[in-house]
């Protein structure tokens, strides 16, 4: 089989907190693309000058494995001078995989994503945010226990463990303090949902405006308190049970919420939407990952593709790449026009919605 005359550059970072693509994932993607395309490269991007080399090469497509590059690595996502990779590529007219800047900004901020979902009339647990080192006083807790606490801007289950479910003020304070100290992150505090948990892979159809919406149910082993949590340890060890969703009513509800959330976040091409049911069995949006882990039979996205559509790893990667390559010049113009819309700050969004950002 003759290879396609295209140059594809995979970009990822070795800096903690920057890369959404592991070395294992990068190697797997590289192996697939090298079979089908004439020129495939990998660039490690730890600062903006590293990324300039990608711009100079003018690849036909950049396979995104990271979202932004900060000027000050100590600040990371909080760096006001950071460069969003998708935005920078748009400015230089270079195609890339997945969503644009606006969607990634929403994707990395769990509270902001949840607020957008609420604004779209969709379901998500009630929540509020506690800033780092902000004292958590008993009289300003707007929700009832039990509560679920996690970092506002970390993926892969980072910061989630047995202490993430708090049943009293002392446990809440302890978890918020540990997230601030260990991860230098604000905390998202939300209603604890006791129901079933689902992860939904979404992949655009290459030949139409439609999407494949592929749910799976995830079941972690119960901890000492009988609570099933997809913690960092569970996700990294890949030990959760994965089941096909066979109940037609549940599947319809979960897939409808997932695709509506996907569109509400201005996502594009592919992504993962996580959902959990409340006590009454109503699906609720938890969070979105618009640059999910792509390793064969590891992580929810590849597993959902196999279980729902029998789409193997190689076919999945090639589909994501073809979607990126198919972008027209008109689409670049549309995206540049979208950049004029301003994504509000968390404080402004919460104030407008009348919510508490303590």
Tens digit of pLDDT for each residue in 260-302? Answer: 999 999 999 999 999 999 999 999 999 999 999 999 988 899 9
* 61: Cα within 13 Å, side-chain hemisphere: 25
What does DSSP say about strands 61-64 and 4-12: parallel, antiparallel, or unpaired?
parallel
pLDDT at 330: 43
- Residue matched to tokens 């929700």: 143
Give 45-51's long-range contacts (Cβ < 8 A, gap of 24+): 45/11, 45/12, 45/13, 45/18, 45/69, 45/85, 46/13, 46/14, 46/15, 46/18, 48/83, 51/11, 51/83, 51/85, 51/88
Q: For residues 317 and 166, what is the distance between their CA atoms, to the nearest angstrom? A: 40
Give how far the C-alpha of residue 112 lies from the chain's centroid of Cα atoms, to the nearest Å.
13
C-alpha closest to that of 283 among 304, 242, 253, 261: 253
C-alpha closest to that of 318 among 274, 265, 270, 268: 270
Angle between helices 313-325 and 23-36 (to 10 degrees): 70
What does DSSP say about strands 187-191 and 83-84: parallel, antiparallel, or unpaired?
unpaired
pLDDT at 137: 65
Q: Identify the segments of the chain with pLDDT beneath 70.
A: 136-139, 328-358
Apex 310 CA angle, 3 and 222, nearest 5? 125
Torsion of CA 68, 18, 159, 185, to 10 degrees: -50
pLDDT at 311: 97
Burial environment of residue 144 by CB neighbours within 10 A (0 to 12, 13 to 18, 19 or more) = exposed
pLDDT at 136: 67
pLDDT at 337: 52
Could you tell me the pTM of the whole model? 0.90
Integer-rounded Cα Rg, in Å, for the chain is: 20
pLDDT digits (tens, 9 = 90+) for 182-192: 988 999 999 99
pLDDT at 351: 52
Q: Which CATH superfamily is domain 100-358 in?
A: ATP-grasp fold, B domain (3.30.470.20)
Tokens linked to 63? 């396979």
pLDDT digits (tens, 9 = 90+) for 294-326: 999 888 999 999 999 999 999 999 999 999 999
């Amino acid at each position: 089989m003759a290879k396609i005359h295209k140059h594809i550059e995979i970009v990822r970072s070795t800096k903690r907190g920057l890369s959404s693509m592991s070395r294992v994932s990068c190697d797997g993607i590289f192996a697939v693309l090298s079979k089908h395309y004439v020129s495939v490269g990998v660039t490690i991007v730890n600062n903006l000058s590293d990324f300039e080399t990608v711009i100079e090469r003018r690849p036909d497509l950049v396979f995104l494995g990271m979202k932004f590059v900060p000027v000050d690595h100590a600040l990371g996502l909080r760096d006001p001078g950071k460069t969003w990779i998708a935005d920078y590529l748009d400015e230089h007219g270079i195609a890339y995989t997945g969503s644009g800047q606006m969607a990634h900004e929403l994707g990395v901020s769990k509270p902001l994503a949840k607020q957008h979902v609420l604004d779209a009339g969709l379901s998500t647990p009630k929540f509020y945010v506690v800033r780092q080192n902000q004292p958590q006083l008993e009289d300003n807790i707007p929700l009832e226990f039990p509560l679920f606490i996690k970092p506002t801007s970390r993926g892969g289950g980072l910061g989630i463990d047995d202490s993430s479910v708090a049943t009293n003020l002392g446990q809440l304070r302890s978890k918020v303090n540990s997230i601030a100290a260990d991860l230098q992150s604000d905390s998202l505090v939300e209603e604890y949902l006791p129901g079933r948990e689902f992860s939904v892979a979404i992949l655009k159809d290459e030949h139409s405006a439609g999407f494949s919406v592929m749910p799976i149910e995830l079941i972690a082993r119960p901890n000492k308190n009988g609570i099933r949590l997809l913690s960092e340890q569970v996700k990294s060890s890949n030990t959760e049970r994965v089941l096909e969703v066979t109940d037609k009513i549940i599947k319809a509800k979960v897939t409808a919420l997932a695709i509506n959330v996907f569109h509400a976040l201005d996502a594009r091409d592919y992504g993962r939407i996580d959902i959990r049911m409340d006590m009454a069995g109503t699906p609720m949006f938890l969070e979105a990952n618009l640059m999910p882990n792509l390793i064969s039979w590891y992580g929810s996205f590849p597993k959902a593709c196999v279980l729902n559509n029998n789409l193997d790893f190689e076919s999945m990667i090639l589909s994501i790449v073809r979607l990126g390559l198919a972008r027209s010049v008109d689409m670049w113009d549309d995206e540049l026009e979208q950049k004029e819309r301003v994504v509000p700050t968390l404080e402004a969004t919460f104030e407008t919605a009348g919510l508490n950002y303590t």
